[in-house]
Amino acid sequence: MSLDDLYKEVILDHYKSPRNKRPLPGATVSKNRNNPLCGDEITVHARLDDDRVAEVTFEGQGCSISQASASMLTEATHGKTVGEADALAREFRGMMEGTVDPDEDAFGDLVALKGVVKYPVRIKCAVLGWDVLQEALGRPAGD
Amino acid sequence: MAAVEEAALDAKRIREDFPILSREMSGKPLVYLDSAATSQKPRRVIQAVTEFYERSNANVHRGVYELGAEATELFEGARATIAGFLGAPEPNSFVFTRGSTESINLVAHAWGRRFLEDGDQVLLTELEHHSNIVPWQLCARDTGAELSYVPITDDGLIDLDAVAASFTGRTRLVAITGQSNVLGTRPPIREIAEMAHEAGAKILVDAAQFASHNPVDVVELDVDFLTVAGHKMLGPTASGGLYGRPELLEEMDPFLGGGEMIMEVHPSTSTYKEPPWKFEAGTMNIAQEIGLAAAVDYLTEIGMKNVADHERELTAYALERLTAAGATVFGTHDPDLRGGAISFWFEDIHPHDLAQVLGDQGVAIRAGHHCAQILMRRLGVPATARASFHVYSTPEDVDALVEGLEAARQVFG
């Protein structure tokens, strides 16, 4: 087990230079959640255009894994339909549970988070933003 | 290194008594700096538990046969040992519980719900662990009592003027930590006890951390309740208890109902045993308390003053090294006013990331809110990294921590 598996360069890049980390004027939905175990906090704002995620941003504070995952999420779901974004969230959670081997093309940067699987305590950090997204899209996890 | 030459105790020799300290973590020698979460156990404690199960196991207070009497004698002997360690006037003023959390819940149920009334005040502080907040919130919900919090100073200290200003005519209880699990701060308990009593209030000291690292004398401190967490003082998990002033234990309600705590049971009422047995329903944590008594004997041989002096030296050394390395240490930097729990931030690295990189170096520290969200808000951070010590901790452990910070800087810098 190597720390390099966890802190890959692309993760550190998203952490240090988060994408779409800002409020979203005109957002149609905003949801917030924190992880009571560690205090990590993420808000996801989305502007839905009919069934499409026209724009998605996040705000929050927390560890590199939670913040990088949220940053990647905004890029990965931009322009997708609600159904597609929800499917991606489910697939991402599957990757974290070790049950889904991700399609690298569809996952893009998100593949870098695969190393988190080896650090069970940190999986909840990686999944936090996706939980919030699904709640914002009206498709809460577990449904 | 001055810290080594003036050592209050021989930590290197003491380390040999702790089997776990010779293992590795992540392929590196284990550097255990999370004793405020739970302490490691000396061989003697592990053996006391094993020996009880191998030679003396029977339920207590029941069997008329020799083995049952032997188990009872060991169990009640443990009570006397632990009560003596706390300076309690009599063994029966010490109630066995699973630890500090259960002890505080016991007082909130058996004293709080019995005696607190609508509009009474329970005075807490911003330093408190959730275990000394939530039981009082539940109790307040049921009784109509109100909770107030004594604010801390910017240095994380409890100022006596602030305590005095927090009393109302309705203050019935001051529930306060003896030593913060986050900042190491030690409030002046003796003085606060005097203020509480002058105001006609009782005082409960959450000594989960305090009793594990300092000499305690409940009579000298003049406190009404004091809680003990055995697993933080080299004892087994689920060991510990509650010191209560005998006359208070007498007038309190029972806590859990069940076998062993009763005298007579009738269809709609029962009569109860005398304290402390009134509070000890069901089969108790017998082996654990016997293990805790072995831990107390071990600590007594070292001497609690030496334990406190050792941690003072180590804390001073750690404060100096961490600050020099560029870490921001929360709370007072005066080692006379704090114990060996050191919360800090390093650069802008989130504590979880820091703890992860340190863990990879074999260094175990805690990251998070440490069950003290009210204090975290006061400090203005979501979480901290925390290093904490016990008798087996050495300056070399601190050196490994500081080296680990450098590794973290390289990953996140």
CATH superfamily of B2-32+304-412: Aspartate Aminotransferase, domain 1 (3.90.1150.10)
pTM of the model: 0.94
Q: What residues make up the domain containing A99?
A: 3-136
- Report the alpha-carbon distance of residue B199 to residue B207 in Å, rounded: 22
Question: Rounded mean pLDDT of chain B?
Answer: 96
Given this model, what pLDDT does residue A105 score? Answer: 83
**C-alpha dihedral sign at A69, A75, A80, A82:** positive
Interface test with B, best of A63, A69, A128 (most B CBs within 10 A): A63
Answer whether residue A127 is part of any domain.
yes
Please tell me if the domain spanning B2-32+304-412 has the same topology as the one spanning B47-301.
no
Q: How many angstroms separate the CA of residue A78 from the nearest CA in chain B?
A: 28
pLDDT exceeds cutoff 80 at A36: no
The domains of chain B are located at 2-32+304-412, 47-301
Over 60: is that where the pLDDT of B345 sits? yes
- Structure tokens given for B172: 């019935």
**Residue A96, domain CATH:** 3.90.1010.10
Residues in B 13-72 with any Cβ partner in A closer than 8 A: 26
How much of chain A, in percent, has pLDDT values that exceed 90? 76
Least confident of A15-29, A78-92, B4-18, B223-237: B4-18
Residue A93 burial (CB count, 10 A):
19
- Those residues whose C-beta lies under 8 Å from the C-beta of residue A123, and which sit 6 or more positions away, are A96, A97, A116, A117
The pLDDT tens digits of the residues spanning B260-289 come to 999 999 999 999 999 999 999 999 999 999
CA angle A132, B367, B373 (to 5 degrees): 70
pLDDT in tens, A123-136: 999 999 999 999 99
- Does the pLDDT value for residue B399 go beyond 50? yes
Whole-Å CA distances, B283 to A19, B21, B58, B66, B126: 57, 33, 10, 18, 36
Position B2 pLDDT exceeds 50: no
pLDDT of residue A142: 61
State the catalytic residue, choosing from B14, B371, B398, B400.
Answer: B371
Confidence of residue B1 (pLDDT cuts 50, 70, 90): very low
d(CA B253, CA B113): 9
Residue pLDDT, tens place only, B186-219: 999 999 999 999 999 999 999 999 999 999 999 9
Distance CA A39, CA A61 (A): 8
Q: Mean pLDDT, to the nearest integer, of A118-125?
A: 91
Q: How far apart are CA B187 and CA B166, in angstroms?
A: 15
DSSP-H helix ranges across chain A: 3-6, 9-16, 64-77, 82-97, 104-107, 120-136
Query: For residue A101, is it within any domain?
Result: yes
**pLDDT value at residue A102:** 86
- pLDDT at position A8 over 80: yes
User: What are the chain B neighbours of A6 within 8 Å (beta carbons)?
Assistant: 356
User: Which pLDDT score is estimated for B331?
Assistant: 97
Global ipTM: 0.89
How many other CB atoms are there within 10 angstroms of residue A1's CB atom?
11
Which candidate, B176, B173, B171, places its Cα nearest to that of B188?
B176
Is there a domain that residue A141 lies in? no
Measured in angstroms, the CA of A33 and the nearest CA of chain B are apart by 14
| Region B327-340 average pLDDT | 96
Confidence of residue A140 (pLDDT cuts 50, 70, 90): confident
**Domain count for chain A:** 1
Domain B47-301 has CATH 1.10.3470.10: no
- According to the model, what pLDDT value does residue B6 have? 57
- From A114's Cα to the closest Cα of chain B, the distance in A is 17
Say how far apart CA B412 and CA B28 lie, in whole Å: 21
What's the pLDDT band for B3 if we cut at 50, 70, 90? Answer: very low
Q: What pLDDT score was predicted for residue A132?
A: 96
Residue A53 has pLDDT above 50, yes or no: yes
B385 vs B368: CA distance, rounded Å: 7
> How much is the average pLDDT of B96-111?
98
The answer to whether the CB of B14 falls within 8 A of the CB of B365 is no
